[in-house]
Amino acid sequence: MTRADSHVHTLEVVEVIKETDAAVSLVFEIPDAIVPRFRYHPGQFLTIEVPSERTGSVARCYSLSSSPHLDDDAIVTVKRTPGGYASNWLCDNAVVGMRLRTLTPSGVFVPKSLDADLLLLAAGSGITPVMSIAKSALIAGSGTVLLIYANDDASAVIFGAELEDIAVEFPDRFTVVHWLVGERGLPTTPALRDLLLPYPRYDAFLCGPAPFMTVCTAALRAIGMPESHIHHERFQSLTGDPFAAIELPCADDESDTAAATVTLGGRTLELPWPRTRTLLDVLLANGYDAPFSCRAGECSACACTVRTGEVRMLRNETLVDADLALGLTLACQSIPVSDRVHIDFDQ
């Protein structure tokens, strides 16, 4: 039996930025040796191991607010969640010099093209991945960006000054509309529909509390935006330990294997796939940076497409019938059924 933990990295906090009374940004320096493994797309997140006296540690996903087209360091922004352990611990304890274990960037809340016209809808800390997308599109793309950002009041607005600066720098391409609940009440579907009516052909990216996402989605459907243009980012607390070392049998111990062809990061990999092991564990144990965050079938960060062959999922808490009809599967839960399988992560 071999053990592998090359999927786990340790990053040092080099700056802690107080964004609001309830939110901080943690700036991580990426050592030169692992820069290639930490290249990320706007909208992705880091999974961070947060120390806990009760359980030893907990794993939580925090979106990157930095832009890969602008920032050398990786920056995540954390807002306190009432009753939430990890967010409060980081806001109270994160200091310069602290070292935290993380996984490589992951997530599929990513624009297919930075040249597209983008409609970004965020509430509270939902601004974090949206900020990365907005900065990247304006710097590296050519489209226009409309951001609608909801908060209780002005004091809760994260990145307020930075958003103003961006609006000044890109007056013809960037517009931000602040929706302050204290002044306008909670966002409603009719009010958002009227606001969004001119933008049915944009690509929409939504991040925020569930009720906010629900009314935004209804408003977008009401203006005739195609479902394929509506993208949601949802996080949930992870119950497993994605930082645990991976155990795989030695070659002599596992004779029953399938032949896997895997398209990952522009590369085509050929490797044996033991029938008792999930694809994600096989890839990680062989040193390949497959995307994931939970390893428990509770998120969709490791979703990939079965191009040929057949697999079986041990558990599925996220993919719906429409996803399965497209051939999607979860790498962290998939074992091979057919003798040859082609899996594509680059979708």
Question: What is the sign, positive or negative, of the torsion defined by CA atoms of 67, 70, 76, 82?
Answer: negative
Pairing state between β 303-308 and 340-344: antiparallel
pLDDT at 322: 79
Please give the domain boundaries of the chain with CATH numbers for all domains: 2-103 (2.40.30.10), 118-233 (3.40.50.80), 253-344 (3.10.20.30)
Model confidence, pTM: 0.83
User: Which DSSP string do the residues of 303-338 spell out, in sequence order?
Assistant: EEEEEES-EEES--SS--HHHHHTTEEETTTEEE-S
* Nearest CA among 45, 57, 126 for reference residue 89: 57
pLDDT at 55: 65
- Give the Cα separation of 128 and 111 in Å (integer): 15
Q: Which residue has 């040249």 as its token pair?
A: 115
pLDDT at 321: 84
Question: Splitting the chain (347 residues) into consecutive groups of 10 residues, what average pLDDT does each group show?
Answer: 64 97 97 91 94 80 95 96 91 96 89 96 97 98 97 97 97 97 96 96 96 97 95 76 69 73 92 93 86 80 93 88 88 95 89
Question: What is the sign, positive or negative, of the torsion defined by CA atoms of 187, 193, 194, 196?
Answer: positive
Question: What is the sign, positive or negative, of the torsion defined by CA atoms of 102, 104, 107, 109?
Answer: positive
Q: What three-state secondary structure class fits 340?
A: strand
Residue 281 parent element (H or E): helix 279-285
- Say if residue 255 is exposed, middle or buried (CB neighbours under 10 Å; 0-12, 13-18, 19+): exposed
326: its two tokens: 């497209």
Which stretches does DSSP call E strand in the chain? 2-4, 8-20, 23-29, 45-52, 56-63, 74-79, 99-103, 118-123, 145-151, 174-180, 203-207, 230-233, 246-248, 257-264, 267-274, 303-308, 311-313, 328-330, 334-336, 340-344
**How many CB atoms are closer than 10 A to CB 19?**
22
pLDDT at 185: 96
Q: Name residue 281's amino acid.
A: D
